[in-house]
Amino acid sequence: MADKQTLYKKQAGEYAASLIEDNMVVGLGTGSTVRFFIEALAQRINIEGLDIIGVTTSSKTSSLAKALGIKLSSVDEVPYIDLTIDGADEVDSAFNGIKGGGAALLFEKIVALNAHKNVWIIDESKYHDVIGQFPLPVEVVPYGSHQLFKRFDEADLQPLFRRTETGERLTTDAGNYIIDLTLERINHPKSLAYFLEQTVGVVEHGLFLNIVDEVIIGGEQLKIITKHPDKLFDN
Ligand SMILES: O=C(CO)[C@H](O)[C@H](O)COP(=O)(O)O
């Protein structure tokens, strides 16, 4: 039998599939929770004959969606994305999130920023008062990445190159490396995001601030928390 976390991911993923309407262009995130969403969406497409175009955020998601018969376009071929459903590694009550546990943060952020609405699906263990327990992924250009690693180390950001199971440095779909920062508690996410964005060699970071509109949280009871459209958060 599946563990509770997996059941909660499934609950959130399947609920998200019910949000999709005919003729939508849908951003398809990456990860194990999104897998449940994509499987449920493919089922709805088959049964109800929905006309959906998916825009994927990783090669893994592209393979899954293709195998399930979902029509795909690239982010550059659609005028906009109606709704993106993605997972997250950690979320706080101010709608700050950490993403990139599946190494897809760059494409995930591009797809999210081209969507009219962003919904995240998580299990309840990922919802915290303050983000930072999950190591923050930073995607970096391979050239000079050792120097960047040293800078992060000197700044006490506890960097680690992400590696594959066979021990090589993991390469993202865009051909970059990931350095994970072990921070434990990110008290000022906006300042940290600014610092990373100013650092040459950093392609993107996994802080997704003020991007998500709604979070669906699987648990004993499914919870949906929605951001007020006019609310701006100051970190
Ligand atoms: O950001 C991501 C991939 O880059 C994922 O959405 C995140 O890691 C959550 O994954 P999962 O649903 O498998 O827990």
Q: Which atom from ligand 1 is nearest to the alpha carbon of 99? A: 1
CA 13 to ligand 1 centroid distance, Å: 12
| In contact, 16 and 28? CB cutoff 8 Å | no
**Beta-strand relationship, 90-92 and 202-205:** unpaired
Query: Which residues, at least 6 apart from 84, have a Cβ–Cβ distance to it below 8 Å?
Result: 26, 27, 28, 29, 55, 111, 112, 115, 117, 118, 119
**Catalytic site residue 184?**
no
Give residues (CB < 6 A) around ligand 1: 29-33, 86-89, 99-105, 108
Same domain, 79 and 191: no
CA 88 to ligand 1 centroid distance, Å: 5
Instruction: Flag whether 83 is in a domain.
Output: yes
* Interface predicted TM-score (ipTM) of this complex, two decimals: 0.99
What confidence tens digit (pLDDT) does each residue in 44-92 have? 999 999 999 999 999 999 999 999 999 999 999 999 999 999 999 999 9
Instruction: Flag whether 51 is in a domain.
Output: yes
Q: Which atom from ligand 1 is nearest to the alpha carbon of 206? A: 1
CA 90 to ligand 1 centroid distance, Å: 9
Closest CA to ligand 1's atom 7 = 88
Q: Which atom from ligand 1 is nearest to the alpha carbon of 108? A: 4
What confidence tens digit (pLDDT) does each residue in 173-225 have? 999 999 999 999 999 999 999 999 999 999 999 999 999 999 999 999 999 99
Q: Sheet holding 90-92: strands in order across? A: 127-128, 90-92, 97-98, 207-208
Q: What is the pTM of this model?
A: 0.96
Same domain, 51 and 104: yes
State the total domains in the chain: 2
* Active-site entry in 14, 90, 108, 139: 108
Same domain, 13 and 106: yes
Quote the domain boundaries for residue 142.
Answer: 136-201
Instruction: Flag whether 58 is in a domain.
Output: yes
- Residue 234: pLDDT over 60: no
